[in-house]
Chains A and B, each alone.
Chain A
Amino acid sequence: MKYAIRHETRYGYSQPVVLCHNEARLQPRTTERQICLRSDVTVSPLTGARDEREDLFGNRVLYFAIQEPHGELIVTATSEVEITHVPASYDPSLSFPWEQALEQLRQGTSTQQREVRQFTLDSPCAAASDELRAYALPSFPPGRPVLAAVHDLSCRIHREFTFNPQSTTVTTPLSQVLANRGGVCQDFAHLAIACLRSFGVPARYMSGYLETLPPPGLPRLQGADASHAWFAVFVSGMGWLEFDPTNDQLPGDRYVTTAWGRDFADVTPLKGVIFGGGDHTLDVGVDMQRIAP
Chain B
Amino acid sequence: MKPTRRDLSASFLAGYRPPENAVDELYDRDGSIRPHWTYLIQALEKLGPDELDSRWSDGRRLLRENGVTYNVYGDPQRTERSWPLDPLPILIPSTEWQVIEQGMIQRAELLEMILADLYGPRRLITEGVVPPELVYGHSGFMRPCAGMAVPRGRHLPLYAADLARTPTGRFVVLGDRTQAPSGSGYALENRLVIQHMFPSIFRDAHVHRLPLFFRRLRLLLAGLAPHPDGPPHIVLLTPGPSNETYFEQAYLAGDLGCTLAQGDDLTVRDERVWLRTLQGLRPVDVILRRVDGAFCDPLELRGDSLLGVPGLLQAARRGNVAIVNPLGASAVENPGLMAFLPQIARHLIGEDLKLPSVRTWWCGDAESRGYVLEHLDELVIKPVDPHATHSTNFGATLDEAARARVADAIRAHPDLFVGQEHVALSTTPVLVDGDLEPRAAVLRTFLAAADDGYTVMAGGLCRVAGVRDGIVVSNQIGGVSKDIWVLASEPERDAALAPADKPLLVLRGELEVPAHVADNVFWVGRYAERADAAARILRQVVRRMLEPDRAPDDPQLAALVEITARVTGALPIGGKPVSDKDVLAALYDGQRSGSLRFDLSALHRGARAVRERFSSDTWRILNGLDIESTNAGELRRAPAEVERILLLLTAFAGLGAESMHRGQGWRFLEIGRRLERALTTLLLLRTVCRSAGPPHAMPREDLLTFADVSPDYIRRHRSVPLPARLIGLFIGDETNPRSAVYQLRRLEQLLKGLSVQIVPPQRSAEEEMVQAALEELVPQAMLADAELDAALDERLARAQNQLTSISDHLTRDYFSRPDRLQQLVTIDR
Inter-chain pairs besides A124-B828, A170-B828, A272-B823, 16 sampled, C-beta below 8 Å = A18-B819, A19-B267, A21-B314, A53-B317, A65-B271, A65-B311, A109-B128, A114-B125, A115-B122, A117-B133, A125-B828, A173-B828, A265-B827, A271-B824, A272-B825, A273-B303
Q: Which residues of B sit under 8 angstroms from A271, Cβ to Cβ?
A: 299, 823-825
User: Quick one: given A23-B299, A56-B143, A276-B820, are A125 and B827 in contact (CB under 8 Å)?
Assistant: yes
B488 adjacent to chain A (CB < 8 Å) = no
Inter-chain contact A276/B819, CB cutoff 8 Å: yes
A89 in the interface (beta carbon within 8 A):
no
| Chain A residues numbered 245-293 whose CB sits less than 8 Å from any CB in chain B | 264-266, 268, 270-277, 280
Closest to A264 in B: B827
Tell me the bound Cα distance from A170 to B826 in angstroms.
7
Q: Bound state CA distance, A200 and B580, in angstroms?
A: 70
> Can you list, as one digit per residue, whether each of B136-166 has a CB less than 8 Å from chain A (1) or not (0)?
1100000110110000000000000000000
In the bound complex, CA of A270 to CA of B136 (Å)? 24
Q: A170-B826, A272-B824 are in contact. Are A67 and B819 (CB under 8 A)?
A: no
Most buried by B among A11, A265, A273, A280: A273
Q: Is A48 an interface residue (CB 8 A)?
A: yes
Q: Is B300 an interface residue (CB 8 A)?
A: yes
* A264 vs B415: C-alpha distance when bound (angstroms): 24
A199 in the interface (beta carbon within 8 A): no
Interface string of B788-829 (1 = CB under 8 A from A): 000000000000000000000000000000111111111111
**B132: interface (CB < 8 Å):** yes
By a CB distance below 8 angstroms, the chain B residues around A166 are: none
B299 touches A21 (CB 8 A): yes
Tell me the residues in window 88-145 of chain B with beta carbons closer than 8 Å to chain A beta carbons. Answer: 122, 125-126, 128, 131-133, 136-137, 143-144
Q: Is A40 an interface residue (CB 8 A)?
A: no
Is A161 located at the chain interface by the 8 A CB criterion?
A: no
Is the beta-carbon distance between A48 and B269 smaller than 8 angstroms? yes
A-B contact pairs, 19 of them (CB 8 A): A21-B310, A21-B314, A22-B299, A23-B300, A49-B314, A115-B126, A117-B131, A118-B133, A121-B133, A121-B136, A171-B826, A171-B827, A265-B829, A270-B824, A271-B825, A273-B310, A274-B824, A275-B821, A277-B819
Of residues 146 through 191 on chain A, the ones whose CB sits less than 8 Å from some CB of chain B are: 170-173
Partner of B823, one of A18, A49, A55, A273: A273
B490 in the interface (beta carbon within 8 A): no
Instruction: A264 to B133: give the CA distance in the assembly, Å.
Output: 21
A residues in contact (CB < 8 Å) with B: 11, 18-19, 21-23, 48-49, 51, 53-56, 63, 65, 67, 109, 111, 114-115, 117-118, 120-122, 124-125, 170-173, 264-266, 268, 270-277, 280
Which residues of chain B are near A109, meaning CB under 8 Å? 128
B318 at the interface (CB under 8 A from A): yes
Interface flag for B270 (CB, 8 Å): yes
Give residues of chain B (250-275) contacting chain A, Cβ–Cβ below 8 Å. Answer: 267-271
Nearest-neighbour CB distance to chain B for A24, whole angstroms, equals 11
CB-based contact B126/A65 at 8 Å: no
Q: Among the interface residues B147, B310, B822, which one has the most CB atoms of the partner chain A within 10 A? A: B822
> In the assembly, what is the distance between CA of A172 and CA of B143, in Å?
24
A122 neighbours in B (Cβ, 8 Å): 137
Interface 1/0 per residue, B296-337 and A, CB below 8 Å: 001110010000001100100110000000000000000000
> 4 nearest interchain CB pairs?
A276-B819, A118-B136, A273-B310, A171-B828
Interface contact A277-B822, CB-CB below 8 Å: yes
Q: How far is the CB of B664 from chain A (nearest CB, A)?
A: 24
A273 in contact with B271 given A65-B311, A125-B828, A268-B827 (CB within 8 Å): no
Please give me the residue from chain B that is nearest to A125 by CB atom: B827
Chain B residue with minimal CB distance to A130?
B412
Please tell me if the beta carbons of B827 and A273 are within 8 angstroms of each other in the complex: no
For A111, the chain B residues whose CB sits under 8 A away are 126
Looking at the assembled complex, report how far the CB atom of B136 sits from the nearest CB atom of chain A, in whole angstroms. Answer: 4
- A51-B314, A275-B818 in contact; A19/B269 too (CB < 8 A)? yes
Q: Are B829 and A124 in contact (CB under 8 A)?
A: yes
A268 — which chain B residues lie within 8 A by C-beta?
A: 825, 827
Which residues of B are found within 8 Å of A125, using beta-carbon distances? Answer: 827-829
Q: Looking across the interface, which residue of chain B has its beta carbon closest to that of A50? A: B271
CB distance from B530 to the nearest CB of A (A): 33
User: Which residue from A18, A115, A264 sits with its C-beta under 8 Å from B125?
Assistant: A115
How far does the Cβ of A114 sit from chain B's closest Cβ, in whole Å?
5
Smallest beta-carbon distance B325→chain A, Å: 20
A173 to B827 CA separation, bound complex (whole angstroms): 10
Which A residue's beta carbon lies closest to that of B270?
A49
Q: Provide the residues of chain B in CB contact with A274, threshold 8 Å.
A: 821-822, 824
Report Cα–Cα, A277/B820, bound state, in Å. Answer: 8
| A198 shortest CB reach to chain B, Å | 11
Contact B269 A273 (CB under 8 A): no
Give min CB distance, B715 to chain A, whole Å.
60
A55 and B828 alpha carbons, distance in the complex (Å): 21
Closest to A116 in B: B132
Query: Which single residue of chain B is at the shortest CB-CB distance from A277?
Result: B822
Q: How far is the CA of A117 from the CA of B270 in the complex (A)?
A: 38
Q: Which residues of B contact A277 (CB under 8 A)?
A: 819, 822
**Residues of B contacting A114 in the complex (Cβ-Cβ under 8 angstroms):** 125-126, 128, 132
Provide the bound-state CA to CA distance between A63 and B317, in Å: 11
Query: Is there contact, CB below 8 Å, between A273 and B822?
Result: yes
Q: Which of B146, B147, B298 contacts A273, CB < 8 Å?
A: B298
